[in-house]
Amino acid sequence: MSDSSAKSKKKSRNKRMTVPAIQKMKSKGSRITMLTAYDYTMARLLDQSGVEMLLVGDSMAMVVQGHENTLPVTLDEMIYHAEMVGRGSENALVVVDLPFPINHQGVHQTVVAAGRILKETRCQAVKLEGGADQADVINALVTAGIPVMAHVGLRPQTVHAMGGYRIQRDRDQLIADATAAEQAGAFSIVLECVPPELAKEITELLRIPTVGIGAGPHCDGQVLVSHDMLGLNCGGYVPSFVKAYADLKSVIQQATQEYCDEVKEGKFPEE
Ligand code: KIV
């Protein structure tokens, strides 16, 4: 290896966002950005655009696989996609969702599954839905050296028990979940669909960063499903808190129609 390529390899290894760096952002008061990614191309585009964390979310079940909720996606499928995202990113910290119901199958099973994720992909952390009820699991993962992001508030994997996707307002439960996850060693917490004032209270209470989705502006960071953020949603449910920063659906459809027209008319390819 030449000197310059050795240097550039070293540089790219050093610049990936780390768990301690994400945590330090809270004390510095700098807001954290996170988006979902499910494949190499999207991971590369988002990573090169400066997002600090990528989430291989189980929302993949809905956005990529076309299911009606997040329950069907399997561990092997999460690993397959996490590998692509791992290959496509070099700057962002990559977090991978533990799919339903892995973390309810006991501490041992969860450590084995999360261990597979870290061993078989290039990703650096896992996310699991749960707070106080998952404290022992979080603690076991952290003890094994696996960074954990907890996910409290609306937990999409419990959609059937909740009877739909609803704003979570139980203050005592939310505070108990968030503090238990922090005490168990989670490095960060997603707060989903929590009233903004409550999200603010939890964010001020915790030492670890909160990352909000549908939880108002006071969290330490924000996460969105990238397909929603880019206007790529194809008929699925788009929550009211989503902001689309582009209309890629129209761009793709227009380009496709133009390509089809040109092929039919014999304009493409040219001599
Ligand atoms: O799976 C996912 O995309 C998520 C985000 C909504 C936080 O969990």
For residue 14, the model assigns a pLDDT of 57
Nearest residue CA, atom 1 of ligand 1? 57
- Look at strands 53-56 and 148-153 and give their pairing: unpaired
Tens-digit pLDDT string for the chain (271 aa): 444 444 444 444 458 999 999 999 999 999 999 999 999 999 999 999 999 999 999 999 999 999 999 999 999 999 999 999 999 999 999 999 999 999 999 999 999 999 999 999 989 999 999 999 999 999 999 999 999 999 999 999 999 999 999 999 999 999 999 999 999 999 999 999 999 999 999 999 999 999 999 999 999 999 999 999 999 988 777 889 999 999 999 999 999 999 999 999 999 999 9
Task: Verify whether ligand 1 is closer than 6 Å to residue 213 (CB atom).
Answer: yes
Torsion of CA 26, 31, 37, 40, to 10 degrees: -90
In this structure, the residue with its CA closest to atom 2 of ligand 1 is 57
SS3 181: helix
For ligand 1, whether the C-beta of 223 sits within 6 Å is: yes
In whole angstroms, what separates CA 150 from the centre of its chain?
A: 11
One-letter amino acid identity for 95? V
User: What is the rounded distance in angstroms from the CA atom of residue 256 to the CA atom of residue 4?
Assistant: 42
Q: Is the CB of 228 under 6 A from ligand 1?
A: no
Whether the CB-CB separation of 211 and 223 falls below 8 Å is answered with: yes
Q: Judge if the beta carbon of residue 98 lies within 6 A of ligand 1.
A: no
Q: Which of 102, 127, 161 is nearest to 19 (CA)?
A: 127
- The pLDDT, as a whole number, for residue 95 is 99
Is 192 a catalytic site residue? yes
Which of 223, 226, 228, when mutated, tests ligand 1's pocket best, judged by the most ligand atoms within 8 Å of its CB? 223
Q: Tell me the domain boundaries of the chain.
A: 3-264
Helix, strand or coil, per DSSP, at residue 245: coil
**The architecture CATH gives domain 3-264:** Alpha-Beta Barrel (3.20)
Cβ atoms within 10 A of the Cβ of 65, count?
14
Q: Which amino acid residue places its CA nearest to atom 8 of ligand 1?
A: 57
Nearest to 220 by CA among 29, 60, 39, 10: 29
CA distance linking residue 227 with residue 249, whole number of Å:
9
